[in-house]
Structure formats: structure tokens, C-alpha cells
Amino acid sequence: MTAAIEDAVSGLRVTRPGPLALLQDAGRFGVRRLGVTQGGPADLHAWAWANRLAGNAWGAAALEVTLGGLALEAERELTLALAGADLGATLDDAPLSPWQRFRLRPGQVLRFAQPVGGLRAYLAVAGGFRAEPVLGSLASVVREGLGGHDGHGHALAECDVLHVGTEAGEHPIGDEREAPAEARLDYTAMPRLSLLPGAQIAEFEGASLAVAFNTAWRVDDRADRMGVRLRGPTLRCRLTSMISEGLGLGAVQVPPDGQPIALLNDRQTIGGYPRLGALTPLSCARLAQCLPGQEVRLAAVSAERALADYRRFRRAFA
């Protein structure tokens, strides 16, 4: 065990890996100039609530479970919190609802089945999961082979171990055992995704802009942590070529086929397609919970409104 996690011990052992379970802290920042993307939780809202219920400060590493299928056996007594999608979780075969804190005793098994509502669940442990940081972060980026439980960005595999602090079982936590009703989002409802207009939006035809913000878009099955393709009317842009430029979280690119792509945490760092603008961080989080075929709408928002909404969100996790 490396010096960076010398105070860590085995906490959970993987008995069934599922399709994609990744360790994610707040993300990897300050390295985009090197071509390294940010990683971090696809659903910032649910990740933050899992950590809050577990008594963790902002930035603690939690487990992002996509589509379910995962089974974990406890190797010591732990305090855990689950938030985000309902993936049919059970604790020793008893149903376990998200948005709450719970205890796990040695030998007990936490299982995830398949999506009931939403796509990604977040599992936090009191004190945070431990691993060796890569470029200052534990965030897993599979494509770049960075971060995660093993330092190489791999998804959890059978017999892998998630480490916790030596005092994880006694980590101080607050009295808040469940998230309030207003924090528990209905992932089956059609979301309105706030978009900051910008970049090349003036280069799109007027008719295209009208339908972009007045049409329900359908989430394509070509969706992952890099981005989500939306299917709907063809958007037309007067630009035929561009010099590649930097891409931030939520950038909505429109390639030649006229179908927008919203870029998420594992996006490339530069791109050369025209952009409508960028989804806000909380809208990216909401989009990350949409299953293929689900409908979404785009809603233009001012920078002032987007900033105020994000500040209000962050104050809840100060």
C-alpha cells in the first residue's frame, strides 16, 4: 500500500462488478491545458447529497454506480449513504431506498439490480473512500487510464477492494439521515435543461433556434460519461468550418448531421463543431440521469441566473 493511503484499510469487496462502477471525487482541475479532462461525478447533485448524508466534506470520493448490477460485501462496520437513481438496491436482500444513510456490518452484502428510475446511483462512506491520487484527484477517467481505486481509471472488477480510512466506522456524522423531499429528484419526469447561449449561437438559422428551444429532444442510446447525443429536428448552422477551441462542461456541439451533443465530464478538451452554448452544471447532472429514449427540453438561461442557482446549490454543501 502506498504512503498516500497508508492509513487506509479494506472496506468493501466486489463480489459482482456490474457494467460500470467508478470512484469519483469532485474532479481533476487545472490540467486541461495538458489535454486531460476533468472526470468527476456525472450527477453532481446526487454525488453531493451522498457525501453530505455520510458526513463528508465537499470533494470526498464516492462510488458512481451506472445501470446497477454491482454487489459489494462489507469487510468491516461502515456508515454509508446512497443517493441518486433507484437501481433496485438491497441490503441482505431487503430493499434499500436511495437518499438515505445506513449501516453495514461485516459480511453484509449490498446489491444493485437494474434501473427503476434514473441511471446512476452514488454510494458514499463516512470519511470518504481512499486511493492514490493521480494529478491531484481520485476521479476515474477510463479512456485516459487515470484515477479510480487502482490509479489506472479502471471500473470495479470482481474481487477488487475499496479502501476506507482506519476510522471509517467511527467517523463523525451529523443527525441528517435522509435527504429532504425537495432534493429527491423525479428522474422519470421530463427535465428542462438550462442552457447558457453563447459561442456560435448567432450562426444558427432562426428557424433552427426556434425549434431548438421549443421542441422535446430524445436522448439517444449513444450516451456515456463523455457526452449525450440528442435526437430531434435537424439544426442548421451557417458555419461550414471552424478552428478547434476549448470545451467546457456542458458544451452543446452541433455536428454536420444537425443533432446536438451535450458534452459531459469525460469529454475531449477541444472541438471544432459550432455550439449552441453550454448546459449549466446542474442541468448536466440532470441529463446524466436520463435513460435512452427519455425526452428533455432546452431552456435558455442568463449567466446571472445560472450563477445564482449554482451558488444556492453549493451553499447547501459548504
Domains of the chain: 3-183 (no CATH), 192-315 (2.40.100.10)
Burial 27-49 (b: 16+ CB within 10 A, else e): bbeeeeeeebbbbbbbbbbbbbb
Confidence category of residue 5, pLDDT binned at 50, 70, 90: low
For the cut 90, the answer to whether the pLDDT of residue 3 exceeds it is: no
Strands 8-16 and 90-91: unpaired
Confidence category of residue 318, pLDDT binned at 50, 70, 90: confident
| Arithmetic mean of pLDDT, 216-238 | 97
Torsion region of 287: left, alpha or beta (phi above 0 gives left; psi -120 to 50 gives alpha): alpha
Strands 217-223 and 227-231: antiparallel
- The per-residue pLDDT for 62 is 98
- Cα–Cα nearest to 66, from 289, 294, 307: 289
Determine what percent of the chain is predicted with pLDDT higher than 70. Answer: 96
- The per-residue pLDDT for 46 is 98
- The per-residue pLDDT for 215 is 95
- Cα–Cα nearest to 22, from 172, 206, 153: 153
pLDDT digits (tens, 9 = 90+) for 203-219: 999 999 999 999 999 99
- Cα–Cα nearest to 97, from 78, 73, 116, 77: 116
Sign of the Cα torsion 157, 160, 164, 168 reads: positive
Determine what percent of the chain is predicted with pLDDT higher than 90. Answer: 91
Say if CB 282 and CB 253 are below 8 A apart.
Answer: no
Say if pTM beats, i.e. exceeds, 0.85.
yes
- Cα–Cα nearest to 247, from 276, 221, 219, 222: 276
Could you tell me which residues are beta bridge partners of residue 298? 193
Rounded to the nearest integer, the mean pLDDT of the chain is 94
Confidence category of residue 2, pLDDT binned at 50, 70, 90: very low
pLDDT digits (tens, 9 = 90+) for 136-195: 999 999 999 999 999 999 999 999 999 998 766 566 567 889 999 999 999 999 999 999
Q: Is 54 exposed, middle or buried, given 0-12, 13-18 or 19+ CB atoms closer than 10 A?
A: buried
